[in-house]
């Protein structure tokens, strides 16, 4: 079973949070948790921002599709029945 987008993002956010909370312990084993955690948080923020933009574009596309369909229906019906003039 694969994870959903939201689940994956949640895991990534938990990883960044874990590194921040456990940086002292991780440093002792040679892992630069501060740098890696900041890097992960920046990547997560990029994902969140890109997703928000994508959702906005989807909404705009949905509205534009309604307009196209309505316009096509109006143009086709007016042409088919000789117009409503």
- The Cα 25–Cα 58 span in angstroms is 43
Helix 33-80 to helix 5-21 angle (10° resolution) is 160
Q: Residue 52: exposed, middle, or buried by beta-carbon count in 10 A (0-12, 13-18, 19+)?
A: exposed
User: What are the residue ranges spanned by the domains of the chain?
Assistant: 5-80
pTM: 0.76
Q: Are 51 and 68 in contact (CB under 8 A)?
A: no
Q: In this predicted structure, what is the pLDDT of residue 49?
A: 98
- Per-residue pLDDT of 26-83, as tens digits, reads 999 999 999 999 999 999 999 999 999 999 999 999 999 999 999 999 888 877 656 5
């Amino acid at each position: 079973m694969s994870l959903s987008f939201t689940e994956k993002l949640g895991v990534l956010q938990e990883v960044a949070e874990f590194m921040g909370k456990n940086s002292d312990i991780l440093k002792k084993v040679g892992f630069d948790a501060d740098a890696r955690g900041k890097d992960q948080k920046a990547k997560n923020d990029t994902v969140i921002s890109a997703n928000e933009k994508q959702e906005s574009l989807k909404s705009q596309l949905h509205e534009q599709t309604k307009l196209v369909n309505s316009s096509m229906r109006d143009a086709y019906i007016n042409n088919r029945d000789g117009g409503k003039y």
